[in-house]
Structure 1
């Protein structure tokens, strides 16, 4: 029997071309490269922005909160050591010298004063500049502290006025000082070593100088809230001493 002729097969369907609408690699399947690159860049900027905000929050608030807790612990250690007759109290960041109180900064203001000005010391309180006079000694006692972050103990240094009181409690007793120059009267470069001298003399004849008292106090901090090479300097002198009872 004669078989029926077969129907000739038609041409195979054309393969889709990259970029054709509706094809697997077309716009319906994946975005163009430029759009994808912009999306990735946007995500990267967003992540970087969040990271910067978190870093700022850490520096401004978290370090201050942690430092203030640490400062309170150090003050407790100093007071306990002194009550036990210790003349020199060692804490986790070095040697404690005293407790600084400045009524202008608030009735509850008190910050530990520690030997040296290392980063660890300044994160835990106010630092006593090596080589300068100790409390009660003749010469110039220099104290440095942060204006912002890490407890910001000298945040309001520029608010000091002539006649303001500063008290430094130590194992031996409390030394009393008075401020001689306004807090905003003197700004110097960080390299101005003359402010550390036993008898500071301003190289600017029209500039601010301390008094002629033999027992001076110098307070230092950054002149601006963020990184700067300028320092705010305030001078004072000792007015009295109350022995520990």
Structure 2
């Protein structure tokens, strides 16, 4: 007969230590997983809730400041606005495009080469990061503040839409260009791809309501494609997209695809009506 195996106390201790190490490692992994899950929930859900609530309160504050929301602002009974430039082929506007905006889903693009003309005489230039208008998109059931600048902490992360410095103001000849988050922080432009030609976009200010009509969409371009926010918007990456003559334009930009900041998309519209508040 074979003698029964002898298990030394040292072997038992090593096995027990190994089991404790495995168990402790599993606990650490579970804890890290829970923390990461909470961070994702905070980023995707809580920041959205905070930013959306903040944006809604700001819209209400602007309406109180102006007296009341403009009646029928989604489809104002307005006289025809200035005619936009005719579509057509032509050479793309020349000029350098600066570095693209960095943050996740901000939709920022370089404004280098954008309109240099100032605001109309008699108008006050909005202060940096100040909300001064309300953007309305009926198809998306969206009403969101428009603030000066495209800073993430001061504008976009608050759930606002940001106005590119150097582009025109609402109703002015040239290009009124805006950026907004597609995901997180209120994500006002999450459903921007749903816009179709003929949809209306309104911009309400203290003194007037401007109605733009969606005309064209550039589904994907580089973050460095500053041509899409020039006074006569035309992509420098895909020159077949854009315009060749001056007009009264609006440009909405955001990141694409969802949950990435690899590319940008742009929606263009033309001013079709305006009226005083």
Normalising by structure 2, we get a TM-score of 0.71
1:229 aligns with 2:217: no
Q: Distance in 1 between matches of 2:263 and 2:251?
A: 16
User: CA separation of 1:238/1:72 partners in 2, compared to 1, >3 Å: closer, same or farther?
Assistant: same
Work out whether residues 213 and 237 of structure 1, in 8 Å CA contact, stay in contact via their aligned partners in 2.
Answer: no
> Which of the numbers 66, 71, 74 marks the counterpart of 1:82?
66
1:97 aligns with 2:132: yes
Higher relative contact order (CA 8 A, sep 6+): 2
Corresponding residue of 1:123: 157
List runs of 5+ in structure 1 lacking aligned partners. Answer: 1-18
1:140 aligns with 2:182: no
SS at match of 1:186: strand
User: CA separation of 1:155/1:180 partners in 2, compared to 1, >3 Å: closer, same or farther?
Assistant: same
Corresponding residue of 2:206: 171
Cα root mean square deviation, aligned: 2.6
1:195 aligns with 2:183: no
* Segments ≥4 residues shifted beyond 6 Å: 87-91
**What is the CA-CA distance between 1:211 and the residue it aligns to?**
7.0
Q: Deviations over 1:92-119 (max 9, x none)?
A: x83112111111102xx21111111111
Moved more, 226-235 or 150-159: 226-235
Q: Deviations over 1:46-104 (max 9, x none)?
A: 111111111111111111110111111211221222239xx87989x831121111111
1:65 aligns with 2:99: no
List runs of 5+ in structure 2 lacking aligned partners. Answer: 1-6, 69-122
Corresponding residue of 1:11: none
Normalising by structure 1, we get a TM-score of 0.79
SS at match of 1:200: coil
Work out whether residues 209 and 275 of structure 2, in 8 Å CA contact, stay in contact via their aligned partners in 1.
Answer: yes
